[in-house]
Amino acid sequence: MLLRHTSKEIVNRKALTINPAKTCQPIGAMYAALGIHGCLPHSHGSQGCCAYHRSTLTRHYKEPVMAATSSFTEGASVFGGQANLVQAIDNIFTIYDPEVIAVHTTCLSETIGDDIPQIAGKAQADGKIPAGKYVIHANTPSYTGSHVTGFASMTRAMVDYFARSSGQRSDRINIIPGYVEPSDMEEIRRIAVEMGVRIILFPDTSNVLNRPQTGRYEMFPKGGVTVEELMSTGDSRTTLALGRLASGSAARALDTRCKVPCEILDLPIGLNATDAFVDALRKAAAVSVPDTITTERGRMLDIITDMHQYFYGKKVALTGDPDQLVSLSEFLVSIDMQPIHIVTGTPGKKFETRIREITGEVPHRVNIGAPGDMFLFHQWIKNDPVDLLMGNSYVKYIARDEDIPFVRFGFPITDRIGHSYFPTVGYRGGMRLLEKILDALLDRKDRDSPEESFELVM
């Protein structure tokens, strides 16, 4: 395999990325759009771009992902895509009848300078958008940012296009869950329900990309935040944004637009981050934490206590999305593991500063790449080996080449099934993550143990 030719000598590269540690903005925008009930994502570009975005999401979630495209040809590339998009809007509402069309741009439409609001305005003026239906958009060229910034842009578009303020505050809390699995969004909602808190979760892909098998195909599943709920976010008591990069922009926009105060938290992955989320939810809604949640926390603490001897001092290499890596790094440090190689493909100086704070007491040099790529990640591992790898499916090649235990975490995971049904956020998600980490470490211990040390009881 080509990865076996990765050299240990690290050379500074400014104009070359080898195996990016990210995917492109439109994928994140499409995923966010699927979190609106009755929404059809629309890729304003070529058919090939749309096919790639859909196939990446389909391979990760093992669900059919529907999206439309403006089907650019050479003519649209030269003269602009207005005619294609106006025709597409007319066709989509006529044939598929969605509640919302969520348009995201691509490299080509951004490069030629298509003005999406102007084109949507023309479609409206021409009577192509039926009454009570909506067209929203986000600018998401693939040559900047990543799938996380694309998700953030489309989530902000939900605020910009829908949020209204009636002047009357409700008792509901907005929660922006960040770029997480449908199962994670479901778990966030479950925690709120357990605490007796009324929330508006947006976007919400639960029951969309982890929907049950009923034997009947539904183009627009029952899940997703409704347009009515999005409009009422401007009357909510406050907003809790989970994940600074993926959710912060929408939360701040809602504060500016409708004067809904916001609090931006880390993703609730691990004990400390989940504590912070539960406490923020408790304060925002003026409720008490129920015994059911306290019991879950106690179980997680008990598991950490039982497993700690196997975690202590183990070195870990991580790659993934910034918001996830921040919380995951904090979680690993809290159980006395040592994240020493941390790479994200999404640029951001604040990310590096935050990771430095989290790993400040790690008794080892910590390498941080933001942005970095998988080639650099592999080189760091070759120069300073670790006990565990955590990242998406692409890390499996490094895991095999270097013979290192591997836990799949993040996006995309294309070679395993189940991640869209089992959360990693909250106390329950934390317990599952702990089990996965320990299983990987003990499987290696069993594999490498001589017969006299091959124990039945650990």
Determine, yes or no, domain membership for 348.
no
> What is the residue whose two structure tokens read 């591997």?
406
SS3 call for 6: coil
Q: What are phi and psi of 48, to 5 degrees?
A: -65, -40
Residue 180 and residue 113 in one domain: no
**What pLDDT sits at residue 349?**
86
Q: Residue 27: which region, alpha, beta or left (left: phi > 0; alpha: psi -120 to 50)? A: alpha
Q: Among candidates 224, 225, 318, which has minimal Cα distance to 270? A: 318
pLDDT tens string 39-69:
999 999 999 999 999 999 999 999 999 999 9
Residue 136 and residue 216 in one domain: no
Residue 179 and residue 157 in one domain: no
Rounded average pLDDT over 423-429: 98
**What pLDDT sits at residue 3?**
63
Determine, yes or no, domain membership for 99.
yes
Sign of the Cα torsion 101, 67, 52, 119 reads negative
Determine, yes or no, domain membership for 143.
yes
Please give the C-alpha separations between residue 226 and each of 103, 197, 231, 248, in angstroms, as whole numbers.
17, 18, 9, 21
CATH number of the structural domain spanning residue 85: 3.40.50.1980
Q: What are phi and psi of 35, to 5 degrees?
A: -85, 5
Q: What CA–CA distance (Å, rounded) separates 2 from 172? A: 53
Residue 188 and residue 229 in one domain: yes
Q: What CA–CA distance (Å, rounded) separates 139 from 343? A: 26
Residue 79 and residue 144 in one domain: yes
Sequence-separated (6 or more) residues with CB below 8 Å from residue 249 = 152, 153, 155, 156
Give the chain's radius of gyration (CA, Å): 23
pLDDT of 5 > 90? The answer is: no
271 pLDDT band (50/70/90 cuts)?
very high
441 pLDDT band (50/70/90 cuts)?
very high
Q: What are phi and psi of 389, to 5 degrees?
A: -110, 140
Range of lowest pLDDT (12-21, 31-40, 262-271): 12-21
Determine, yes or no, domain membership for 7.
no
Domains identified in the chain, total number: 2
* Residue where a domain stops, chosen among 162, 190, 221: 162
Segments in 195-270 forming alpha helices (H): 227-232, 244-258
Q: What CA–CA distance (Å, rounded) separates 371 from 28? A: 18
Determine, yes or no, domain membership for 455.
no
Determine, yes or no, domain membership for 342.
no
**What pLDDT sits at residue 453?**
87
Determine, yes or no, domain membership for 299.
no
Q: What CA–CA distance (Å, rounded) separates 161 from 138? A: 11
Q: Within 10 Å of residue 52's Cβ, how many Cβ atoms? A: 18
* Percent with pLDDT over 70 in the chain: 99
Rounded average pLDDT over 64-83: 89
* Residue where a domain stops, chosen among 291, 306, 322: 291
**What pLDDT sits at residue 383?**
96
* Residue where a domain stops, chosen among 291, 310, 331: 291
Determine, yes or no, domain membership for 433.
no
pTM of the model: 0.96
Residue 62's domain spans which residues?
25-162
2 pLDDT band (50/70/90 cuts)?
low
Residue 65 and residue 141 in one domain: yes
